[in-house]
Amino acid sequence: MCQIAVYLDEEKIMDDVMLVEPLPEGVRLVKMFEAPRVIPAAIRRVDLMKNKLFLERVEKDEENYAGDG
């Protein structure tokens, strides 16, 4: 099986993640036998050779930005 380690702002927050799903409110992370977690962050980089996912914390102002400015 292929699992991935997840880092938030360069700090490891989870190991053995089996599913990563981007959502409007953040990134949903799913591990086997645990409740899913939604992290208010954006995917910054995925390293498939090292099985690492790097997230970046999303500021509330950026999260609500409509882009019509």
Q: Are 39 and 22 in contact (CB under 8 A)?
A: no
pLDDT in tens, 28-69: 999 999 999 999 999 999 999 999 999 999 886 554 544 444
Domain boundaries along the sequence of the chain: 4-61
Closest listed residue to residue 15, CA positions, set 2, 23, 69: 2
pTM above 0.85, yes or no: no
Taking the C-alpha atoms of 19, 54, 11 and 26 in order, what is their torsion angle to the nearest 10 degrees?
Answer: -60
CA–CA separation, 9 and 42 (whole Å): 10
